[in-house]
Amino acid sequence: MEVEKFSYDNKIVKYFAYATIIWGITGMVVGLIAALQLAFPEFFNDYLGYSFLSFGRIRPLHTNAVIFAFVGNGIFMGVYYSLQRLLKARMWSDKLSYINFWGWQFIIVCAVVTLPLGISTGKEYAELEWWIDILITVLWVVFGWNMFATILKRRVKHLYVAIWFYIATFVTVAVLHIFNSFELPVSMFKSYSAYAGVQDALVQWWYGHNAVAFFLTTPYLGLMYYFVPKAANRPVYSYRLSIIHFWALIFIYIWAGPHHLLYTSLPDWAQSLGVVFSIMLIAPSWGGMLNGLLTLRGAWDRVRDDVMLKFMVVALTCYGMVTFEGPLLSLKNVNSISHFTDWTIAHVHVGGLGWNAMFTFGMLYWLFPRIFRVKLYSKKLANQHFWIATLGVILYAVPMYIAGFMQGLMWQDFKEDGNLANPEFLETVTALEPYYMLRALGGLLFIIGAVMMFYNLIKTAKSGKLLADEPAEAVVTRNAKVEGGQYWHRAIEKRPIRFMLVSLIVILIGGMVEIIPTMIVESNVPKISAVKPYTPLELEGRDLYIKEGCYNCHSQMIRPLRFETERYGDYSKSGEFVYDHPFQWGSKRTGPDLAREGGKRSNFWHYTHMLRPKDLSTGSLMPAYTWMLENDYDTTLMPRKIRAMQTLGVPYSKGFDVKAVREMKAQAEVIAEDIVNDIISNTPKSAQKTLNKKEMINKLKTKELVAMIAYLQRLGMDTKEKTPEAAAAPADTLTK
């Protein structure tokens, strides 16, 4: 048989390694800022009250940065290293490798610029605007193309299990990203989700959940199947188990999305499916974890000395904990406590910090000495990193578990007389303050550890020299005959394209069963005739609500539970959201639910509260939105927005786009006048003379704040009895 000489590309691995470290630290620092905002809201309001630093804009930056920049680059780093070696082939095209690298970094930079500016689609973990979505698609195809071409020109016969995970990741992320990103652009910086309300929620959480499954889990499991045997220098515990692990995991995972929507307006059957499949997920997840840990059987003594193995063992343990907790959280009775609280935050951080970050650190400590051909600069420093990071995870997670549990129970608590024990939502937030401080400390420790690692790795790189092209040779066995008959799995495993198609079918089944009926069976979303489209000003206000990222702290979904209806009003029905492109149900309540906020308080209350939340609610964590009183709301895009909504099926009357701006201004004037009247009556008599009412109204009526108030006052009004204020809204917008 012929022996071929070739080389592995280590330079691209180095590039992605630096990218994952730098973006990792950046993303964590942004997370720390967000955590500090909740721990010390006064300080941020007084000294750092900039719009681009406000929690609602920073939190999406944090989530996107750690998922797509930190873990994303981590995936590419590990895949570009292991894929070449498992296939005994250099990447098919160096050019594509570098397009993949620079393109991905460009997308991240776009995110870093647009998200703090409030350019957002308002869908969690998919906030990036339409043209960035297209860029992501292109870059993902570049990655897939390079990967498949390498697989096709491989020198070995079989595809090792790690590669199956990479293929499933590629194909599923593509499907998820494309389907969830169907949006109608209005301008360069604004688009509307093609789906509305319940359907949008279902697609979003099918995406959101599987972004966890196929971006944070499957690629890392693939990497686990490569790096753990490599580090332990022994084969994986059970290859048979890895086959079962793979197929069961990708088949079951895709169904579990609806567990993010328990007790919501999503049809019951879809919720139940989500729960059942989430429980089943324990089996493959734990199968994978045990397979990883048992690979170390007989080598546990090495864990004591090898820092890389330490990181991996903790990572696998965290993976085990988090995949046990996930199914528990999907049980309805547990979920009724945990949902919308910090429990979820604790859960994802055990996954994010414990599993993804710890595993990435392990890979980095293993890779640097190998590609730079030198010993690690300081083993001691790496060990210190390990302990400080582990402590960081604990200090992060434990306070958040307590906070989540506490808040969940406080919401549910009734007094003996049948009234809520904590009727003020704020009481359930201020009680969490000490835990928020501890959490920030945990995060800080974790970042300090990462910085120590960065220093250690740079020193390592400096003391060695990059082996950019690692010489290798291999016997070409791709087309060799197999003795003793065909091996069943080879039928697909030998043929990567067929393998991809089979995995595609396997992952599509779950998605289709859940999504298609919700889209096409009308009885799943019963219409409510009283629900009408938003007025243009309210629509503008809604866009500002999305821009400011209000959904990061406020839900718009009252669950059919007594403690919820008692606090917020009648539970939310699916028919109420039919014009919501995108839906804004939220997933976390740092502030109260707003689904029935309309008409509860005066316009003046909202005006004061938005500008100085702490004046009205002592101890509130809400940022002061002072810039909304300085900025004028946009009128130029409104006709296009109305036309876009019409395209998406919102029944505005024909030609309404032309009248929209006029109506907008009329409604704004009514609200502005109402607020100004209250401002004047709240001013001491002696000072009232100095106020010019007309001038004040003219000044106020064009401001973003007015549009926002219009939207807030509309929430839940359709299904409420009409109050005089609501009737004052221009009737023409209520079309037909």
Partner 1 sequence: MLRYIKHNLTDIDGVNIYPMISLLIFVLFFIVMFTLVIRMKKTRITELSAMPLEDGSQVDLIQELDKTN
Contact residues for partner 1, defined by CB under 8 A: 8, 82, 85-86, 88, 155-156, 158, 160-162, 225-226, 229-230, 233-236, 239-240, 243-244, 247-248, 251, 267-269, 272-273, 276, 369-370, 373-375, 467, 470-474, 484, 487-489, 513, 517, 521, 523-524
- Closer CB to partner 1, 516 or 728, in the complex: 516
Find the shortest distance in angstroms from Cβ 501 to partner 1: 16
8 A C-beta contact, residue 343 and residue 349:
no
Find the shortest distance in angstroms from Cβ 733 to partner 1: 33
Find the shortest distance in angstroms from Cβ 478 to partner 1: 13
Find the shortest distance in angstroms from Cβ 288 to partner 1: 15
Q: 79 Cβ partners below 8 Å, 6+ apart?
A: 147, 166, 219, 222, 223
8 A C-beta contact, residue 693 and residue 680:
yes
Query: How close are the terminal C-alpha atoms of the chain, in Å?
Result: 78
Q: Which of 218, 151, 192 is CA-nearest to residue 584?
A: 192
**Alpha carbon distances (Å) from 575 to 232, 526, 597:** 56, 5, 18
Measured CA to CA, the distance from residue 668 to residue 538 in angstroms comes to 10
Report the 3 state secondary structure along 574-599: HHHHCCCCCCCCCCECCCCCCCCCCC
Q: At what angle do helices 536-547 and 656-681 cross, to 10 degrees?
A: 70
**Alpha carbon distances (Å) from 99 to 47, 139, 164:** 41, 8, 24
In a 3-state reduction of DSSP, which class is residue 168?
helix
- Measured over the CA atoms of residue 197, residue 200, residue 206 and residue 211, the dihedral's sign is negative
- Closer CB to partner 1, 472 or 726, in the complex: 472
- Closer CB to partner 1, 7 or 626, in the complex: 7
Find the shortest distance in angstroms from Cβ 95 to partner 1: 23
8 A C-beta contact, residue 611 and residue 629:
yes
Find the shortest distance in angstroms from Cβ 84 to partner 1: 8
Q: Which of 95, 101, 114, 92 is CA-nearest to residue 72?
A: 101
Return the CA Rg of the chain. 27
Consecutive H or E run containing 627: helix 627-630
Find the shortest distance in angstroms from Cβ 383 to partner 1: 17
- Closer CB to partner 1, 418 or 471, in the complex: 471
Neighbours of 314 (CB within 10 A): 20
Say if strands 3-9 and 190-193 run parallel, antiparallel, or are unpaired: unpaired
Find the shortest distance in angstroms from Cβ 646 to partner 1: 29
Find the shortest distance in angstroms from Cβ 229 to partner 1: 5
Find the shortest distance in angstroms from Cβ 509 to partner 1: 8
Measured CA to CA, the distance from residue 296 to residue 229 in angstroms comes to 8
Q: What are phi and psi of 481, to 5 degrees?
A: -75, 145
8 A C-beta contact, residue 480 and residue 1:
yes
- Chain-centroid distance of CA 504 in Å reads 23
- Closer CB to partner 1, 29 or 243, in the complex: 243
Q: What are phi and psi of 193, to 5 degrees?
A: -60, 140
- Closer CB to partner 1, 10 or 608, in the complex: 10
Q: 109 Cβ partners below 8 Å, 6+ apart?
A: none
Find the shortest distance in angstroms from Cβ 489 to partner 1: 7
Find the shortest distance in angstroms from Cβ 236 to partner 1: 5
- Closer CB to partner 1, 143 or 226, in the complex: 226
Strands annotated E in 322-468: none
Measured CA to CA, the distance from residue 643 to residue 520 in angstroms comes to 24
- Closer CB to partner 1, 573 or 640, in the complex: 573
- Closer CB to partner 1, 482 or 691, in the complex: 482
Find the shortest distance in angstroms from Cβ 292 to partner 1: 13
Token code pair at residue 236: 């994986």
Neighbours of 597 (CB within 10 A): 21
8 A C-beta contact, residue 65 and residue 111:
yes
Token code pair at residue 257: 């999305």
- Closer CB to partner 1, 47 or 488, in the complex: 488
Peptide bond into 434 cis (omega under 30): no
- Closer CB to partner 1, 370 or 612, in the complex: 370
The secondary structure of residue 66, as a DSSP letter, is I
Measured CA to CA, the distance from residue 63 to residue 7 in angstroms comes to 37
- Closer CB to partner 1, 8 or 563, in the complex: 8
Find the shortest distance in angstroms from Cβ 493 to partner 1: 9
- Closer CB to partner 1, 147 or 186, in the complex: 147
Consecutive H or E run containing 187: strand 183-187
Find the shortest distance in angstroms from Cβ 199 to partner 1: 14
- Closer CB to partner 1, 172 or 590, in the complex: 172
- Closer CB to partner 1, 10 or 114, in the complex: 10
Match 């720390």 to its residue by tokens.
Answer: 32
